[in-house]
């Protein structure tokens, strides 16, 4: 029995650490699995199947396509799907009944023209940046429903009946998604956005500190070494598209936790933009750090001033990050500006004025 225990232990540990690392992903996967089983009951249980019939398909389709990782994404996609279906179905019915007046071969021609015009218009709207960002999925569903309704209007007499039944099952699927996504271990994109913004302040503060530490380290082989913190700096630099999608999802999310209904999500984008500029500046210092031709002598004379500056800068960054984290007005607000100004004066005494100004100016802008 003992050998059995031993051979299982490493497997057990890797499993545990895998679960810890991917906790949220696993929770999401299980939630989707449960939602799928629930909508499959429409097929599996006879009394339910007698009610909805083949249309149960649309409930399954809705869950598969709409259930996304973040609660806001699920809600946004679901609402897009709902509005797209209603609009597409309604306009499809109108177009089908209009086409029926033409009768015979004219009917098919009129439907063909409708299909072309609405298809092309909806496709164009998908390419408009504003629509693409928030309503692309709605435009796709509009196109799909409109086409299906308008062409089957030719065949099925009871097109409105058909639309009503499909809509009912879509609403069922959507309700299951929303319930499970919002009420069972919800994964909020607003939390993710908020936390990632706060952690970026810390990353930048630590990479500024790392920079200066490296600069004053006495070391011969500077060419090949890696500077700690620069990877994080780069990830800050590349954060824009993730920020934008998180803000998009967060806007769909209802009131929860510390976030109210009109939380200023746009400001997250602005602060993110400033942090990216700052990250760009820190990254550009890399050249100074790896350059082998720098002299060691003059460095010592500015070491103290530099270290004082950097510790104030990183303190400021951490302080601002902390106040965003707690969503409170920055307590140190009144002490930050004078501190930065005195640093500037101090630096201009040790250095030619052009050298360190941009960094200080920038920080004041924050």
Size of the site for a second copy (CB under 8 A): 71
Smaller CB separation from a second copy, 236 or 250: 236
Smaller CB separation from a second copy, 112 or 254: 112
Question: By CB under 8 A, is residue 64 in contact with a second copy?
Answer: yes
Assigned token pair, 151: 């062409």
By CB under 8 A, name the one of 2, 6, 101, 293 that touches a second copy: 293
Q: How far is CA 311 from CA 102, 162, 314, in A?
A: 79, 68, 5
Residues whose CB falls within 8 Å of the CB of residue 232, separated by 6 or more in sequence, listed in order: 203, 206, 207
Question: By CB under 8 A, is residue 308 in contact with a second copy?
Answer: no
Smaller CB separation from a second copy, 30 or 337: 30
Shortest distance in whole angstroms from residue 331 CB to a second copy: 28
By CB under 8 A, name the one of 29, 97, 335, 342 that touches a second copy: 29
Q: Which stretch binds a second copy (CB under 8 A): 164-172, 205-213, 310-318, 357-365?
A: 357-365
Question: By CB under 8 A, is residue 279 in contact with a second copy?
Answer: yes
Question: By CB under 8 A, is residue 274 in contact with a second copy?
Answer: no
CB 146 within 8 A of CB 91: yes
Question: By CB under 8 A, is residue 212 in contact with a second copy?
Answer: no
Question: By CB under 8 A, is residue 45 in contact with a second copy?
Answer: yes
Shortest distance in whole angstroms from residue 20 CB to a second copy: 15
Say how far residue 228 (Cα) sits from the centre of its chain.
27
- For CA atoms 224, 227, 230, 232, the dihedral sign is positive
Question: By CB under 8 A, is residue 284 in contact with a second copy?
Answer: yes
By CB under 8 A, name the one of 12, 16, 19, 37 that touches a second copy: 37
- 91 burial via Cβ count (<10 Å: 0-12, 13-18, 19+): middle
Residues between 178 and 197 with contacts to a second copy, criterion CB under 8 A: none
- C-alpha atoms less than 13 angstroms from C-alpha of 76 in its C-beta half-sphere: 25
- 86 burial via Cβ count (<10 Å: 0-12, 13-18, 19+): middle
Neighbouring CB atoms inside 10 A of 1's CB total 5
Question: By CB under 8 A, is residue 112 in contact with a second copy?
Answer: yes
Shortest distance in whole angstroms from residue 285 CB to a second copy: 8
- 148 burial via Cβ count (<10 Å: 0-12, 13-18, 19+): middle
- Give the C-alpha separation, 313 to 308, whole Å: 9
By CB under 8 A, name the one of 102, 117, 274, 337 that touches a second copy: 117
Smaller CB separation from a second copy, 49 or 216: 49
């Amino acid at each position: 029995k003992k050998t059995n225990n031993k051979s299982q232990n490493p497997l057990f540990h890797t499993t545990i650490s895998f679960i810890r690392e991917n906790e949220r992903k696993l929770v999401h996967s299980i939630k989707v699995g449960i939602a799928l089983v629930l909508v499959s009951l429409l097929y599996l249980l006879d009394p339910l199947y007698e009610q909805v019939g083949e249309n149960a398909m649309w409930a399954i389709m809705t869950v598969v396509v709409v259930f996304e990782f973040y609660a806001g994404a699920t809600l946004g996609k679901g609402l897009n799907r709902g509005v797209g279906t209603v609009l597409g179905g309604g306009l499809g019915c109108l177009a089908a009944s209009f086409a029926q007046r033409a009768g015979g071969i004219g009917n098919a021609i009129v439907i063909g023209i409708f299909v072309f015009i609405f298809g092309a218009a909806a496709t164009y709207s998908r390419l408009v940046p504003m629509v693409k960002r928030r309503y692309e999925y709605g435009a796709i569903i509009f196109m799909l429903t409109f086409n299906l309704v308008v062409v089957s209007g030719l065949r099925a007499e009871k097109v409105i009946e058909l639309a009503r039944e499909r809509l009912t099952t879509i609403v069922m699927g959507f309700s299951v998604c929303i319930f499970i996504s919002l009420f069972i271990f919800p994964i909020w994109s607003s939390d993710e956005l908020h936390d990632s913004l706060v952690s970026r302040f810390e990353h930048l503060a630590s990479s500024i500190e790392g920079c200066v530490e490296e600069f004053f380290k006495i070391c011969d082989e500077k060419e090949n070494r890696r500077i700690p913190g620069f990877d994080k700096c780069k990830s800050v630099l590349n954060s824009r598209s993730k920020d934008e999608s998180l803000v998009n999802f967060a806007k769909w999310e209802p009131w929860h936790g510390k976030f109210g209904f009109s939380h200023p999500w746009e400001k997250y984008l602005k602060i993110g933009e400033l942090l990216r500029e700052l990250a760009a500046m820190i990254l550009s210092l890399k050249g100074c750090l790896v350059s082998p031709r720098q002299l060691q002598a003059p460095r010592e004379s500015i070491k103290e001033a530099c270290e004082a500056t950097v510790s104030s800068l990183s303190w400021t960054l951490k302080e601002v990050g902390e106040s965003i984290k707690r969503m409170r007005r920055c307590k140190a607000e009144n002490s930050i500006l004078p501190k930065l100004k005195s640093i500037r004066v101090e630096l201009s005494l040790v250095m030619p004025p052009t050298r360190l100004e941009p960094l200080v100016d920038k920080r004041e802008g924050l």
